[in-house]
Structure 1
C-alpha cells in the first residue's frame, strides 16, 4: 500500500467519523474543497495540504484511534518516502 493510500484511508475514516461529505471535509481540513478528490485520483497535492489535514485530524480525532492511522506517531520516515527522500 502506498503512502498516498494510507493517508487517504486515514483521512476518509476521519471524514466518515465526523459525518462530512468529501467536499466540506476537504475545505475544512485544508481550505481546498478538492483536496480528498485530488488525492484519491492520484493528482498532485501539496505536502503542506497533507500537513494541514493532519493538524485538522489531531485537533478533533472524532473518537478515532490515531495509533491505527498513518498519523499515529513519528511519521518522518513516511514523509521522507512521500517526498522521495527515503
Structure 2
C-alpha cells in the first residue's frame, strides 16, 4: 500500500532518469507480473527486465516455466544480485 514500508524500493534499487516507474494499484502485483511483462513487451517498452527472485508463482515449476517464456520474448531475467552487479 502506498506510503507503507512494503511500498518502498529495496536497498540498492535506484530509479534513474529515463527509467519507467510503474505503480501497481492492485493487490499482489507480483502474482500478475507474468501478464504484465507480456503487456509491456506488446506496448514496446524496451528493455523489459524482471528481477526473478522478487517474483513468485504457484509452484517453483511454474515460476521456472514463466522465466523460460519471458526469456523467449526477449525479457531479461536476472536475480537482484546479477542486476545490481550489471548496473
How high is the TM-score relative to the length of structure 1? Answer: 0.32
Query: Between Structure 1 and Structure 2, whose CA radius of gyration is higher?
Result: 2
Q: More relative contact order in 1 or in 2 (CA 8 Å, sep 6+)?
A: 1
Greater percentage in helix: 1
